[in-house]
Amino acid sequence: MRVICAYPANIDAVCTVSGETLSPLIPSDRDLKIELKPSIASRDDLLSSLLYCMSRGSGAEALIEDRSLARQIEEDRAFSWSFRLGGNAAIMSNVLAALGAEPVLNAPALGPRLARLLHPRVRLPGNGILMDPAQAAECCREPHHEMVHYVFQFQENEKIAVGDIKFVTPHANRFITTYDPINSRMLTDSHFDSYCLENIKNIAGALVSGFHLASHHQWPEIFIRRAAQIKSWRQDNLRLFVHVEMGSFPGAEVMATLLDSLRKIPIDSLGLNEDELALALHGEGREPGEDVASEKWPQFLRDAEGLRRRLGLFRVAVHTRDYILSAMMAGRISPQQELAALQCGTDAAASLAATGSPTDDIGAGAIEVNSHGLKAREMLCRLEGGREWGRGAYLISGDLIVSLMPSLLVKNPAFTVGLGDTATAAIFLREIEAII
């Protein structure tokens, strides 16, 4: 089964930071304001944004202003880097390949290092044919500067002191910053463009992401260009199943413009987290430290269903730390098939967190079902028509199917980056299989 994966593909330079790591970097001679910067223009901006994420236990992404600063960050001896596959589309393509699909990836800045990180089953178009990553890298006529994203991941319960301010990180998460002129413009490879147009009738689905990386100064034009491409695929293949995964946007105006563009294509499915859902519907994210536990799911459901109906979508999925909640129109996928897909996604994400692979077995003692997710499942089952299935539960109300799947907790995670992309890709593949 062939699936389009677009748009970001890059390398992640990953560093695990702690209170001990950061203490020597925090200036003692002046106050450092802890806030999330819209972009990174200095080391202070980096520290300010990173500490903001650590104080909330939240994740975020921000662009670096210039390449020289990116080089300074990579060469900074305070950080110990390990290099992994990055970019929503590339990570999702690797997951799909591991699960047996044949993903067609957009990778306009493919180099030998990025090619080595891609699964051998990932396919890259070139001269009208599909090639494996090694072949595609060899055929590149021009050397590319591979795009590198700097990922600062942190663990739960890290103690941080900034002047008179002291806090403990409430959750494990990550802050990402990068200088990336390829993905920030959502550029495509010309061979990818032509292959998709000429072969779209033989492709089952398109998994699209990366809009949140669009340059602050160019996002209206970028959204128009990419929406036109996706619409051209849909026009030539009405059965193409299109899912768009959202991200951390700089403001409500940007997200509103994108959602309006997606509504006009139209797409089938939309995925977003609770912060992005709040931004889409209410124009602002949650307050720092605001609870998203089990009791919140009815509000998330109302918001997700409201967004789904407003945009005319088949499905909207909200993924939180505790569970994945899906609101979809009845008729294409049964509730059991949707829950099986959600369970596959949570399994794959837990496997990646524990082992680095979305398909490896995890020892029974290494994971547990999220207790807040279980509580939300119990609350759903108490409603009229609510039923358990597997680890999750569903409810049918008129033409609406509600599905809820608790997440899995890994006791000692080796990886915290790419978990959401992993779950999304696994869910997407199982949904396409169910539809077909």
Q: Which of 158-172, 280-294, 383-397, 402-416 has the lowest mean pLDDT?
A: 280-294
Question: Among residues 381, 388, 386, 399, which one has the least CA distance to residue 305?
Answer: 399
β 241-245/10-16 pair status: unpaired
Please, which pLDDT band fits residue 291 given cuts at 50, 70 and 90?
Answer: low
Q: Which domain does 161 fall in, by range?
A: 11-85+146-178
E-strand stretches of 251-364: 269-272, 315-319, 323-329
- The pLDDT-based confidence of 288 (bands split at 50, 70, 90) is very low
Q: Flag whether 32 is in a domain.
A: yes
pLDDT value of position 289: 47
For residue 286, what pLDDT is reported? 53
Q: What is the pLDDT of residues 143-161, one digit of tens each?
A: 557 788 999 999 889 998 8
CATH classification of the domain holding 317: 3.40.1190.20
Instruction: Note the pLDDT tens digit of each residue in 187-246.
Output: 999 999 999 999 999 999 999 999 998 887 899 999 999 999 999 999 999 999 999 999
Does some domain include residue 135? Answer: no
Question: Which of 178, 200, 228 is the endpoint of a domain?
Answer: 178
Does residue 1 sit within a domain? Answer: no
Which whole-number Å values give the CA distances from 424 to 50, 64, 323, in the listed order? Answer: 25, 27, 13
Q: Which two tokens stand for residue 68?
A: 């020289």
Q: Which residue has the tokens 């591979």?
A: 146
Work out how many domains the chain is built from and give that number: 2
Q: Has residue 341 got a pLDDT over 80?
A: yes
Q: Is residue 128 part of a domain?
A: no
Residues 6+ apart with CB under 8 A from 136: 107, 110, 115, 124, 126
Domain boundary at 178, 201, 224, which? Answer: 178
Q: Is residue 310 part of a domain?
A: yes
Q: What do you get for the CA distance between the two ends of the chain, in Å?
A: 10
**Got the DSSP string for 373-387?**
HHHHHHHHHHSTT-E
In sequence order, the 6+-apart residues with CB closer than 8 A to the CB of 193 are: 229
Same domain, yes or no: 28 and 170: yes
**Reported pTM:** 0.87
Residues in CB range of 17: below 8 A, 6 or more apart: 50, 79, 152, 153, 154
The 10s digit of each residue's pLDDT in 359-372 is 888 876 778 999 99
pLDDT score of 142 more than 90: no
Q: Where are the beta strands (DSSP E) in 155-192?
A: 159-162, 165-168, 173-178
Helix 252-264 vs helix 274-282: angle between axes, to the nearest 10 degrees? 90
Query: Nearest CA to 403 among 278, 320, 274, 317?
Result: 317
Same domain, yes or no: 311 and 168: no
* 3 state DSSP class of 249: coil
Tokens 């975020």, located at residue: 60
Is 137 within the bounds of a domain? no
73: enclosing H helix or E strand: helix 67-75
**Per-residue model confidence as pLDDT tens digits over 292-303:** 555 788 899 999
Choosing from 159, 178, 197, the residue where a domain stops is 178
* Domain containing residue 163: CATH number: 3.30.1110.20
Query: pLDDT, tens digit, for every residue of 167-192?
Result: 999 988 889 998 888 998 999 999 99
**Residues 261/224, Cβ–Cβ less than 8 Å:** yes
Contact 119, 112 (CB under 8 A): no
Which pLDDT does position 284 carry in this prediction? 64
In a domain, residue 105? The reply is no
> Other C-beta atoms within 10 Å of 380: how many?
25
- Residue 383 in any domain: the answer is yes
The pair phi, psi for residue 408, each rounded to 5°, is -110, 140
Nearest residue to 6 (alpha-carbon basis) of 351, 245, 204: 245
Write out pLDDT tens, residues 241-272: 999 999 888 888 999 999 999 999 999 999 99
